[in-house]
Structure 1
Amino acid sequence: MRIVAIKNPNSEAEQRLVHEMHRLRARIFRGRLAWKVRCTSGLETDRFDRLNPTYILCLDRSDAVIGCARLLPATGGTMLEQLFPQLLETAHLPTHQRMIESSRFCVDTTAATKREQAGLHSATLAMFAGIVEWSILNGYREIVTATDVRLERILRRAGWPLSRLGAPAQINETKSVAGLLPADWQSFDRLRPSIYSSNISIHQKEAA
């Protein structure tokens, strides 16, 4: 189980992983969850993918993508505020320089068969830990996200509870909720599964 962070994929290997990620998103969001998302040639994309995001990916032993999330600075305008303002108590999100937005989170739990604490999949925990690790190392201290109440329960079981920004609301086929998550080393240590590894700190050293 390995976590990688990719921004501006510039190698054939990274381009392949991002392509696999878009295929995974189509399979999960359109195929399994029946969300009304745009898919072309079996790939799910939207306009936020054109804003130079960082992708956090979970790879299995064969380097297949089994989990993903998209991270964008909240100060640039959030998917939450633009598309789902009904999830915010005031329909407005007060952002700051240390806030990052996480979106398009998913894990293929049929591929991630290994389980860790509280019956949670190790890939799910690894994705949570990877998001936290990348956020801390890039100067972020708070993660904002819109998710469904099922994942909210998973976050609570993992020991990383969501602080709600408003009441849940039905959006199409999903009962959704928005909230904030802390990005700190205590959360990372609590979330990190026993088989966790990542390339995030290595890439940070190279960039420094």
Structure 2
Amino acid sequence: MHVFTISPDRYVDHSNLLRQMHRLRAAVFGERLEWDVSITEAGERDEYDDLDPTYILAVTGDERVVGCARLLPALGPTMLEQTFPQLLASGSLGASAGMVESSRFCVDTTLAAGRGGGQLHLATLTMFAGIIDWSMANGYDEIVTATDLRFERILNRASWPMKRLGDPVAIGNTVAIAGTLPADRVSFDRVCPPDYRSIAAEVQSRQIRSAA
């Protein structure tokens, strides 16, 4: 399993992975969690997918997408401030240039490989490490997100606790919460699974292949 980053300039080349991602989001958010999301035959997507985000994917050796997250600069339109402002105690995010928003995080929990001994799934830890890794590599030191109490507990189990930005609020069939997470080396080392391959190494390898 490895982390794959898809920036806007790579959408066309990796359209198959993106199609898998949207189907995974539909399966998790629409079918399993029963959130009020927009789903078509192509999968789940919303207006924030139209803002040229970078996607972080966990991909198996046979090119199966088993985890995903969407990253957008917090200074631009964000899901938290535009869609869920009720989660912010101040009503405003107070974004800075060093802050990035992570949204639509999900993992295929049906994947048996990588789970055992009561530990968090390998795909979950790989995604956490990938998000922190990409954030640090791109000049961000803080990650903001809107999630739910279940996921907040997962973050605590991973020793990557979230700092709340407001009180929990019932939204639909879940209890949502907003918070910030540090994107630093200490956090990365805590969540990083064995055999993780850095995003910096991926970028360097891609540059070498392009120059060849």
TM range (shorter): over 0.9
Q: Which residue identity lines up with residue 180 of structure 1 in the other structure? A: T
1:24 counterpart SS class: helix
1:67 counterpart SS class: strand
Report the alpha carbon displacement of residue 62 of structure 1 after superposing the two structures with TM. 1.2
1:186 counterpart SS class: helix
Report the alpha carbon displacement of residue 115 of structure 1 after superposing the two structures with TM. 2.8
1:90 counterpart SS class: coil
Show CA shifts across 1:158-204 (max 9, x none): 01000000000111011110000000011111111113224444326
Structure 1: gaps spanning 5 or more residues:
none
Contact 1:116 1:122 in 2 (8 A): no
Report the alpha carbon displacement of residue 26 of structure 1 after superposing the two structures with TM. 0.5
Partner of residue 23, structure 2: 23
Aligned pair in 2 of structure 1 residues 200, 174: CA closer, same or farther (>3 Å)?
A: farther
Show CA shifts across 1:30-70 (max 9, x none): 01111111011141110000100000000112110000000
Partner of residue 105, structure 1: 105
Q: Which residue identity lines up with residue 38 of structure 2 in the other structure? A: R
TM score, norm. by length of structure 2: 0.92
2:14 counterpart SS class: helix
Q: What is the aligned-residue RMSD (CA, Å)? A: 1.9
Structure 2: gaps spanning 5 or more residues:
none
Contact 1:142 1:180 in 2 (8 A): yes
Partner of residue 51, structure 1: 51
Partner of residue 14, structure 2: 14
Show CA shifts across 1:130-162 (max 9, x none): 000000000000000000100100101101000
Contact 1:66 1:112 in 2 (8 A): no
Partner of residue 146, structure 2: 146
Q: Which moved more, 1:27-36 or 1:107-116?
A: 107-116
1:66 counterpart SS class: strand
Q: How is 1:71-110 mapped onto 2 (pairs within 5 angstroms)?
A: 71-110=71-110
Question: Which of the pair has the greater relative contact order for Cα pairs under 8 Å at 6+ separation?
Answer: 1
Contact 1:102 1:145 in 2 (8 A): yes
Contact 1:101 1:145 in 2 (8 A): yes
State how many pairs are aligned.
207
Q: Which residue identity lines up with residue 183 of structure 1 in the other structure? A: A
Report the alpha carbon displacement of residue 86 of structure 1 after superposing the two structures with TM. 1.0
Partner of residue 65, structure 2: 65
